[in-house]
Amino acid sequence: MTESQRLIKKYPNRRLYDTRTSAYITLADIKELVLQHENFMVVDAKTGDDLTRAILLQIILEEESGGVPIFSSEVLSQMIRLYGNAMQSVLGQYLETNMTAFVDFQKKMQGNSNSSDLWSQFLTYQGPAMQSLMSAYMDQSQKMVQNMQSQIQTQARNMFQGITPNK
């Protein structure tokens, strides 16, 4: 944890304690920290384990349950199917890259009256992002195939080393 990072401790009674303000806070308060771009970390008060991602996922779950969700059931199902898949890390990179691009685009749209140029810039960015995604996927797939071939060759060598030809 860095000095500028705000420390939130989560206690077994499910309460969250903000060490900067010396007060208990709620998930809504943590959501406000996120909205204010506050740098924070949530840790288990007993073990010191980092719980930041779990708390953020909990906030997303609450947001998805109420109001208009961002993710459809199909998108969530597809994401679940990718866990443990070779594409899991690629999907994370893709989502992070595109979220960053989307936020940058949104900031420019808010500060600029000529939005049609920005929209075309955003769409132009999508091509390289997809190319980068596919390139990473192809590289990862190629390495996976090479590893698989190497393993098969090793297994075949080991299997046939003990067999002598009949004369």
**Using 50, 70 and 90 to split pLDDT, how confident is the model at 140?**
low
Q: In angstroms, rounded to a whole number, what is the distance separating the alpha carbons of residues 147 and 109?
A: 46
Its sign, for the CA torsion 61, 63, 68, 70, is negative
Token couple for 147: 């590893």
Residues 6+ apart with CB under 8 A from 98: 129
Which carries the bigger pLDDT value, residue 88 or residue 29?
Answer: 29
Given this model, what pLDDT does residue 104 score? 78
**Residue 52 identity (one-letter amino acid):** T
**Using 50, 70 and 90 to split pLDDT, how confident is the model at 90?**
confident
Q: What are 141-151's pLDDT values in tens digits?
A: 677 667 767 77
What's the mean pLDDT in 157-166? 68
User: Counting beta carbons within 10 angstroms of the beta carbon of residue 29, is it exposed (0 to 12), middle (13 to 18) or buried (19 or more)?
Assistant: middle
Extract the runs of DSSP E, i.e. beta strands, from the chain: 6-10, 16-18, 23-25, 40-44
